[in-house]
Amino acid sequence: NAGVTQTPKFQVLKTGQSMTLQCAQDMNHEYMSWYRQDPGMGLRLIHYSVGAGITDQGEVPNGYNVSRSTTEDFPLRLLSAAPSQTSVYFCASIRQGNTEAFFGQGTRLTVV
Amino acid sequence: AQRVTQPEKLLSVFKGAPVELKCNYSYSGSPELFWYVQYSRQRLQLLLRHISRESIKGFTADLNKGETSFHLKKPFAQEEDSAMYYCALLTGGGNKLTFGTGTQLKVEL
């Protein structure tokens, strides 16, 4: 199993550009989520999903969209990138009934 | 709303010294608490969970509901323990993790 895979690992965007951060897991986990990691602020939940076709907002959802068309994939879309979205983004998955979260390796995004 | 507080951004100890990383939580329900660790250039991974009451890499953590705390302890720090440690609370029926702000542990020789 590859676990949770995120692409790309690094990205530089100009203000106003849009892009999609990819997240895929091959463990058949029901729950998936996106976090951003900022110095001094820990990990904050952006969006999460409890299954295909179901998504919900987390703590800091503004400026981001998600969809969950399959169990495996949970892409995060930045609609119009802003410098405040410069961060490291982590995707995670959890098997229903279990409690351990598995994380991707992260995507370091810089918006200039 | 739930909240996890880690008061120390940085904790620096000497090798062989005891370590205690503090974590306090606020949650109206029955808490499920975890410690996650991120070593340099690696992804976050689970270190331990309160429900297992286990010792991993010499670390232990006891849930104290009276003090709403879940401090991480190790009697003798090792150089390889240097990492970022996050305390986390699982809610939402098991699908939402709320993280603290993290504590960077630095073990000096």
Interface contact A103-B34, CB threshold 8 A: no
Cross-chain residue pair B51–A40, CB shorter than 8 Å: no
Nearest chain A Cα distance for residue B82, angstroms: 17
User: In chain B, what percentage of residues exceed pLDDT 90?
Assistant: 76
Q: Is the pLDDT of residue B15 over 80?
A: yes
Of A30, A31, A43, the CB nearest to B86: A43
Query: What is the phi-psi region of residue B93: left when phi exceeds 0, alpha when psi lies from -120 to 50, beta otherwise?
Result: left
Chain B residue numbers with beta carbons less than 8 Å from the beta carbon of A43 are 44, 86, 97, 99, 102
Distance from CA of B96 to the nearest CA of A (A): 8
Using a CB-CB cut-off of 8 Å, the residues of chain A touching B9 are 40
| The pLDDT value given to residue A35 | 97
Q: Which residues on A lie below 8 Å from B34 (Cβ)? A: 99
Tell me which residues of chain A have a C-beta less than 8 Å from any C-beta of chain B: 30-31, 33, 35, 40-45, 48, 50, 58, 90, 92, 94, 96-101, 103-106
Which of B32, B43, B94 lies nearest to residue A96, judging by beta carbons? B94
- In Å, how far is A59's CA from the nearest CA of chain B? 9
pLDDT bucket at B30, cuts 50 / 70 / 90: confident
Yes or no, beta carbons of A100 and B49 under 8 Å apart: yes
* pLDDT tops 80 at residue B94: no
Q: What pLDDT, on a 0 to 100 scale, did the predictor assign at position B47?
A: 95
Per-residue pLDDT of chain A (112 residues; tens, 9 = 90+): 789 999 999 999 999 999 999 999 999 999 999 999 998 889 999 999 999 999 999 999 999 999 999 999 999 999 999 999 999 999 999 988 888 999 999 999 999 9
User: What is the distance between the alpha carbons of residues A95 and A27, in angstroms, rounded to a whole number?
Assistant: 8
Write out chain A residues lying below 8 Å of B43, CB-based. 90, 103-106
Picking from B98, B74, B3, the residue whose alpha carbon sits closest to that of residue A58 is: B98
Across chain B, what does the average pLDDT equal? Answer: 93
Distance CA(B84)–CA(A25), nearest Å, equals 24
Query: What is each CA distance from B40 to A17, A59, B106, in whole angstroms?
Result: 30, 26, 12
What pLDDT score was predicted for residue A52? 94
Q: What tens digit of pLDDT does each residue of B36-85 get?
A: 999 998 899 999 998 887 888 999 998 999 999 999 999 999 999 999 99
**A45 to A26, B5, B19, B26, B52: CA distances (angstroms):** 22, 16, 29, 17, 25
Residue that is written with structure tokens 């993290």 in the block? B102
